[in-house]
Structure 1
Amino acid sequence: MAQANVKMPIFSQEETSYELKVPYLKKLFRFLLPYKKWLFLTIIFMFIATVADLVSPYLLKKAVDDFIPKKDFKGILAIGVLLVLTLFINKECSKNKIKLANRTGQMVLFDIRKALFDHVQSLSFSYFDRNSTGRIIVRIVNDVNTLNNLFTNGIVNVITDMSSLVLATVIMFSIHPKLAAVTFTVVPLFLAILFATRNAIKKNWRKVRRKIANLNAYIHENISGIRVIQAFVRQKVNKAIFKEVIDDVFVSWMKAIKINNLFGPFVEICSMIGTLIIYWYGVKLLKINGVTVGTLIAFVSYLDRFWRPVVTLSNFYNQLLVASSSSERIFEILSIEPEIKEDENPVDLSTFKDSIEFKNVWFSYKDDNYVLKDITFKVKKGQMIALVGATGSGKTTIVNLLARFYDPQKGSILIDGIDLRKISFRSLRRLIGIVQQEPFLFSGTILDNILYGRPEASLDEAIGVCKFLGVHEFISQLENGYYTQVNERGTRLSTGQKQLICLARLLLQNPEILILDEATSALDTQSELMVQSALNKVTKDRTSIVIAHRLSTIRDADLIIVLDKGQIVEMGTHDSLVSKKGVYYELCTSQVRFVKAG
């Protein structure tokens, strides 16, 4: 049977511009301001190391021209001591320069990454709706990592190299201006090569970065979807696709390296030509106006110190290009304002006293496509309210608005007569506890997860909550009890066990208003019975808003709200709604027919 061709995937990538963006670099360098003392000290060490290095050829010139011809042993010995001293000073200052530069650079990266992480945590849910997790992680990790070379070595090295270039040039012209001028006739040739190769190098490395981004995306997708891959036995096909992806990276990388490596030999050639000019023209000057052998030796040494930093300086421009592009994406996130903001003078609600009220609430995730239309209802303290309706009817959106993960475009939501927009985030979310359909556990121990909302709580308090919910027994049977490590998302536990731990975490926080977002819909029958029993204990004497997929669990609700396409179509108790034989009645009878058919 013919097999369909499997093409290499192309992942959507952001258009990346590698033009120098000075305003973003200025913003980036502001992160250096708290460490300007350390940077200044680094530059001092750098300058001393550079001067010590540049003194050596001049000392050698003095030895060759003044002391060796006269067989002045003391003078030669003094020069030798001075050479050793300059070498020691150079090495010690260079060591301290590198240490301080790396410390300063890492502190700057720490501050940038922390600022990004703190800001991302403050952003509204709408931002995460529009942006993938992978894209956000790339900002905090990869984009900041690309600044590593710039801040740890790049800035200090470019100052070092510029100082070395300038000082070497000044010294050469001060020793013999005519010989220096002739020596630097090779510089225009170098500049021509630099401008000819720079664009090609930049273009090819840009292509490499795109290929690597494609590789990372494919790896991320495959690891995330490993269960589906194994279920469909796609390993062999995916292996072939992955080979194409890494081959693509390999080819583009080798091409970029090939072009990049041409630059080094060009610099060597220019340096060699310069050296030949020194010897050719210098020998002529020896006969004409007394250029000494020491001068020629010093010139060759200084020429080496001139060309040595050139490669670093030319690469620094590429570092700036990458840094400006990364900084643009970093500041793009930092400039985003949270859509859900706390009031300048928020009200702290210490307790829930009376009621929750939705008044003519309209909400849209995008444009004017409203998913909630004119929602009005009231929940009294101690009541259980159930939200029912087909998928997409707006049930989860209502509870998201109550927790103020979003704000309505029209209407208002009140707790005890106070608009949610006036209530502080901390007090609002201390009052409200949410049990989600998909339980989420963090890496760490089971105890860490139970204490997540109240880290100051004691072990005895955590155990007491677990015993109350009937969770203590299964936790105690694990290899390390409450100190058993769980992987990210709790993959070592069943969905029911994870949900029970999440309930313990919630009950330890002791919220007065409870939201249950289809908390048992993903469970098997036995796990559902365990979780439902725990839920009954949690909801007792609390105000509860329940999104139910099994209508039998909400028969005793004080008020059932039936939603259809974002509108309330029915409200009442179970018995009153069944007697109407409307939408709710149809939902009940269809579930009964489904259960009987099963």
Structure 2
Amino acid sequence: MENKKTKAFDLELFKRLLQYIKPYRLVFFGSLLCVIGLAVFGVLRPLVLQEAIDNHVKVQDYNGFVMYIIAMLVLLILEVVSQLLFIYYASWLGQSVVKDIRVKLYNHVLRFRMKYYDTSSVGVLITRTVTDMERIADIFGQGLFMIFSDLLKMLVVAGAMVYINWKLSLIAFVTMPIVLFATKIFQKYMKRAFEEVRTEVSNLNSFVQERVTGMKILQLFTREDTEFKKFKDINERHKKGWLKTVWYNSIFFPIADLLSSITLGSIIWVGGLMVVIQGTATEGNLFAFIMFVPMLFRPLNQIANKFNTLQMGMVAADRVFKVLDTTSQIDDSGSEVATEFKGDISFKNVHFSYVQDEEVLKGISLDVKAGQTVAIVGATGAGKSTIINLLNRFYDINDGTICIDGTDIKNLTLQSLRSQIAVVLQDVFLFADTILNNITLKNDDISEEQVIQAAKDIGIHNFISSLPNGYHYNVKERGAMLSSGQRQLISFLRAYVTNPSILILDEATSSVDSYSEQLMQDATDKITQGRTSIVIAHRLATIQQADQIIVMDAGEIVEKGTHDQLLKVENGYYRNLYEVQFLKAEAV
């Protein structure tokens, strides 16, 4: 029994795809009507020609012959109009279906938990959302309806041939099983080849996307030649995948054309004998069959060709539906809507691991009072940033509880939880858009006037105004037109304008110049006033005024207290960190 991977056609997958046609039933059936018109009008032309030759050419009836020529012209016009309407509306249907699937896919991907992105390739997701979608559109524009049209035309042509002369028809039908068998084998191997092609396309997209993003690192470490060789290897595999499809095409289509030519030659020879010697066929019959044979065999070739398109679309659809079927969303079953937090935060015996059986947090408990500024310090990998990820529910904890104002955060809706928490990260991400849109993220509830006033409040209005076009300055991809310090200032403003109940600063001043750091320190003093704030920092000088400092090591809280209290702890973890940093500063 064939498995799903090698099956020539996956009917269940196709049925699922057809569900997206329901909103466009009228266009779908209109396209089918055009397909029927193509088959009927195309077959009628040889029949009209037969009548013209047998009843008017042989008897030299000029007026009657002209009428049949006009009839053939009308049929040709009707066929052209049907084809025009079919091509337009079939393509329109394909793009409409793809639009709906792409919107559903993107909406689905937006809600994946961070763990999914930790283990998934961005290039592959881009391929699913963009390239694979175009292949799905081709199912309707070039695959499904064209196959149906060709099959219908073949059936109508076969019926007409039998009706006109069943003996001549047998000659054409003898070679049909051979062509059908070759088509079935061809379809099976093309399915495998296209799966390989799609895999290599994903690999290629992923590789290029990652290298372009990290181009500075490649050039800094002079890895251009090495990465170029890797690219050539991937590109070679991509080429080989495509060459398999070319090889199968180069075998199948010449065989089909050869059988078509042999059949046509046999019909002309046998039909000629029947007309001249036996008198069991007419000249009109022979001319009609000469037109019918290409109409019978050409659709077979086209079906195989369009089946290639259909196969590529089905492979793409399978990959897209696998993403749609992925259940990697954070459970958003909470029903309570948080309009505003006081800011009391409580972690109770919280355990968490990114990888199973490798705990990052080992039963931590901490309490943050409303309005307090709490600093978290510790070595890299101690679990500081993990606390932020868990508070925003980017990941769900393994055990324990996290509460805000006494309510378990799992009981809150994700939207209301995250809308009350603002985060300023060390690695600021800016979109290729204006400063204004990067601050508001196109939130209609935040006006430009509010942004300008907020910028003045935290002391960065002059910096933004000094840029070309000010708040409408386009920072380009990932904010490349700004320095790291400037990007951080934009991130501070983005957090401030949302007026959050809880503010989190994650290493926000760790890699900026002294001028930007002073601006950020002033901004920090402003935006932390009157709200609960959690500050993660390596530089202890920035957190000495914190109401509480939490010291972490290897996923556990090892010390708590104020700056002065922790300095009094003999051989304390914080005291050692402080002394090391300030001894280095004095040495410099």
TM-score tier after normalising by the smaller chain length: over 0.9
TM-score (norm 2): 0.94
Task: Quote the residue 2:282 is aligned against.
Answer: 292
Partner Cα separation in structure 2 for residue 138 and residue 212 of structure 1:
8
State the SS of the aligned residue for 1:570: strand
Q: How does 1:354-365 map to 2 (within 5 A)?
A: 355-365=344-354
Size of the aligned set, in residue pairs, is 583
Percent of aligned pairs sharing the same letter: 36
1:5-54 CA-partner distances (Å, limit 9, x unpaired)? xxxxxxxxxx9767643322221221122212211001101211221111
With 282-291 and 255-264 compared, the bigger mean Cα shift is at 255-264
2:147·2:307 contact (CA, 8 Å) conserved in 1? no
1:496·1:527 contact (CA, 8 Å) conserved in 2? yes
Partner Cα separation in structure 1 for residue 7 and residue 283 of structure 2:
48
Shift of 1:197: 5.0
Task: Quote the residue 2:362 is aligned against.
Answer: 373
Shift of 1:320: 4.0
2:195·2:315 contact (CA, 8 Å) conserved in 1? no
Task: Quote the residue 1:8 is aligned against.
Answer: none
Partner Cα separation in structure 2 for residue 577 and residue 472 of structure 1:
38
2:333 pairs with one of 320, 343, 356: 343
Shift of 1:336: 2.1
State the SS of the aligned residue for 1:486: coil
Task: Quote the residue 1:519 is aligned against.
Answer: 508
1:390·1:563 contact (CA, 8 Å) conserved in 2? yes
Partner Cα separation in structure 2 for residue 376 and residue 228 of structure 1:
40
1:438·1:522 contact (CA, 8 Å) conserved in 2? no
With 187-196 and 417-426 compared, the bigger mean Cα shift is at 187-196
Task: Quote the residue 1:395 is aligned against.
Answer: 384
Task: Quote the residue 2:113 is aligned against.
Answer: 124
One-letter amino acid of the counterpart of residue 521, structure 1:
S
Partner Cα separation in structure 1 for residue 210 and residue 391 of structure 2:
34
TM-score (norm 1): 0.92
Partner Cα separation in structure 1 for residue 196 and residue 20 of structure 2:
30
Q: How does 1:66-215 map to 2 (within 5 A)?
A: 66-194=55-183, 201=190, 208-215=197-204
1:328 pairs with one of 294, 307, 318: 318
Shift of 1:246: 4.3
Q: How does 1:461-480 map to 2 (within 5 A)?
A: 461-480=450-469
Shift of 1:99: 0.7
1:50 pairs with one of 32, 35, 39: 39
With 92-101 and 256-265 compared, the bigger mean Cα shift is at 256-265
1:311 pairs with one of 301, 304, 308: 301
1:342-387 CA-partner distances (Å, limit 9, x unpaired)? 225x111222236111111111222232211221111111111111
Partner Cα separation in structure 2 for residue 280 and residue 74 of structure 1:
32
1:47-80 CA-partner distances (Å, limit 9, x unpaired)? 1122111110000000000011222223112111
2:121·2:206 contact (CA, 8 Å) conserved in 1? no
1:244-265 CA-partner distances (Å, limit 9, x unpaired)? 5545555664564244233222
Q: 1:112 to 1:204 in 2, by over 3 A?
A: closer
2:348·2:364 contact (CA, 8 Å) conserved in 1? yes
1:269 pairs with one of 237, 258, 261: 258
Task: Quote the residue 1:549 is aligned against.
Answer: 538
State the SS of the aligned residue for 1:580: coil
2:471 pairs with one of 477, 482, 488: 482
Q: 1:252 to 1:360 in 2, by over 3 A?
A: closer
Partner Cα separation in structure 2 for residue 211 and residue 134 of structure 1:
11
Structure 2: stretches of 5+ with no match in the other structure: none
1:311-355 CA-partner distances (Å, limit 9, x unpaired)? 1212344344433332232222212224422225x1112222361
Q: How does 1:489-568 map to 2 (within 5 A)?
A: 489-568=478-557
Partner Cα separation in structure 1 for residue 229 and residue 587 of structure 2:
45
With 287-296 and 19-28 compared, the bigger mean Cα shift is at 19-28
1:19·1:325 contact (CA, 8 Å) conserved in 2? no
One-letter amino acid of the counterpart of residue 367, structure 2:
K
1:18·1:321 contact (CA, 8 Å) conserved in 2? no
Shift of 1:266: 1.9
One-letter amino acid of the counterpart of residue 112, structure 1:
I
State the SS of the aligned residue for 2:445: coil
State the SS of the aligned residue for 2:360: strand
1:226-279 CA-partner distances (Å, limit 9, x unpaired)? 112221333345445545554555566456424423322222211111111111
Shift of 1:166: 0.4
One-letter amino acid of the counterpart of residue 489, structure 1:
R
1:547-585 CA-partner distances (Å, limit 9, x unpaired)? 111111111111111111111111111111111121111
